[in-house]
Amino acid sequence: MYLSKLLLRTYKNISSDEKSINAQLLIRGGFVDQLMSWIYTLLPLGMRVMKKIENIIREEMNSVWANEIYMPALQPKSNWEQTGRWEWMDNLFKFTSFYSKIEYALWPTHEEVVTPLIKKFIESYKDLPQVVYQFQSKFRDEKRAKSGVLRWREFLMKDCYSFHANQMDLDTYYETQKEAYIRIFNKIGIGDKTFLTYASGGTFSKYSHEFQTVCEAGEDTIYYLEEKNIAFNDEIIHDSEVRKEFDLDNQNLTVLKTVEVGNIFKLNTKFSEPFHVVYKDNTGEENIVYMWCYGIWVGRLMGTVIEAYHDEKWIIWPEAIAPFKYVIIGLWDEWSEQAKKVYKSLLDKWVEVALDDRDQSFWFKMKDADLIWYPYKIIVSDKTLAQGENIVEVVARSSGNTQFIDFTTLS
């Protein structure tokens, strides 16, 4: 990517009402633009980060045999009356068609669509399990949305739903998904700060599970049990049954501020019953189908990474989701031919690289590179060329380590 062709503008300071660090840094680095409170446009750099997070999640969902689909955000009232959730759910944007007078809402969750959908694919036990997921912009009429990117009114979510013949199959598959979730957070680079957290399970099961990432800005509180590498949220930590089950009175728990980046709910038969989703077992008998659902807040993840890893002034992207791996900066214009040669060499190897060919000073480009946070800066100058035709200076952003390297060996 030639930076002269990229829609990019960074800001030293922003005069906005943004209080949250992640939104401030995302705006300053040219990743997002604020349209109004808690509604943002993703700029090209922000798109790149989001796509990388999305692709990591997609890869892992596909690896546990989940099928990608896309369900409508616009949903009619009728399906939701069947489960009684039309009146019950708050945070919904509801409206009526001017022409047809049909009542709609924009739904942040899809049980009322996915359950009757999957019902069409299930006749016998041979048709189970079924697992589907989607990436979708969700809409939420937020009462309070104080943490910038952490709570958008419109945000990308991955929601996944699985359907099983019985509790046992559901429990086995849950372990597979749990492992996929752990791989996702590890690959993104927040695995060391993201903990499986026991939460209240609602009507149909004892527990649900949340994935909570530790950061100062977090609005949630978890109680971390290091020995077992699990945590408990504050809904259930005072529950005497829970305390007994995990022997919590005799354990050391660490209290941490966190953001919820994912959750897993055991729905059991909560939705398969009202929609009568059943299958015939191998004796021909009809049985009810069991469900589980798995969410990841993709948009919120981007903000959470920043909240968890930034320092006083800068975003610190994990390499896997940084917008580019390298940026190439020439000390003077006369080295621009050499810079282009390095650029082409890396591009030919499918390396993600940006060439800063803008009509700006060296130091402006270096500052910009720090703000955007490329994992590596490649500097081309008389000093590097003096060391050999193919030699460049590579500066690692996080350690500050500098090396003179033959650029043809980079990957």
Q: Which residues bind a second copy (CB under 8 A)?
A: 5-7, 9, 33, 35-36, 39-44, 46-47, 50, 65, 67-76, 78, 90, 93-95, 97-99, 104, 106, 113, 117, 120-121, 126, 130, 132, 136-137, 139, 141-143, 153-154, 359
Residue 390, exposed/middle/buried by CB under 10 A (0-12, 13-18, 19+)?
A: middle
C-alpha distances in Å from residue 296, one per residue of 54, 127, 212, 258: 10, 26, 11, 15
- Which helix (H) or strand (E) segment holds residue 78: the answer is helix 77-82
| Nearer CB in complex with a second copy: 113/236 | 113
DSSP-derived pairing of the beta strands 326-330 and 353-355: parallel
CB 51 to a second copy: min, Å: 9
CB 304 to a second copy: min, Å: 19
| Nearer CB in complex with a second copy: 278/316 | 278
Cβ neighbors of 9 (< 8 A, separation 6 or more) are: 30
Cβ neighbors of 5 (< 8 A, separation 6 or more) are: none
CB 311 to a second copy: min, Å: 27
| Nearer CB in complex with a second copy: 141/273 | 141
Cα(22)–Cα(304) distance, rounded to whole angstroms?
7
Cα(40)–Cα(27) distance, rounded to whole angstroms?
10
CB 359 to a second copy: min, Å: 7
| Nearer CB in complex with a second copy: 11/332 | 11
Cα(147)–Cα(32) distance, rounded to whole angstroms?
15
CB 47 to a second copy: min, Å: 5
CB 79 to a second copy: min, Å: 8
CB 31 to a second copy: min, Å: 11
CB 149 to a second copy: min, Å: 13
At 244, the amino acid letter reads K
CB 313 to a second copy: min, Å: 22
| Nearer CB in complex with a second copy: 214/296 | 296
Tokens for 8, please give them: 């990019």
Residue 114, exposed/middle/buried by CB under 10 A (0-12, 13-18, 19+)?
A: buried
Tokens for 253, please give them: 């728990």
| Nearer CB in complex with a second copy: 207/343 | 343
| Nearer CB in complex with a second copy: 76/202 | 76
Beta strands in 90-188 (DSSP E): 93-96, 103-106, 130-139, 154-164
Three-state SS letters, 162-212: EEECCHHHHHHHHHHHHHHHHHHHHHHCCHHHEEEEEEECCCCCCEEEEEE
| Nearer CB in complex with a second copy: 132/296 | 132
Cβ neighbors of 14 (< 8 A, separation 6 or more) are: 24, 27, 28
| Nearer CB in complex with a second copy: 127/220 | 127
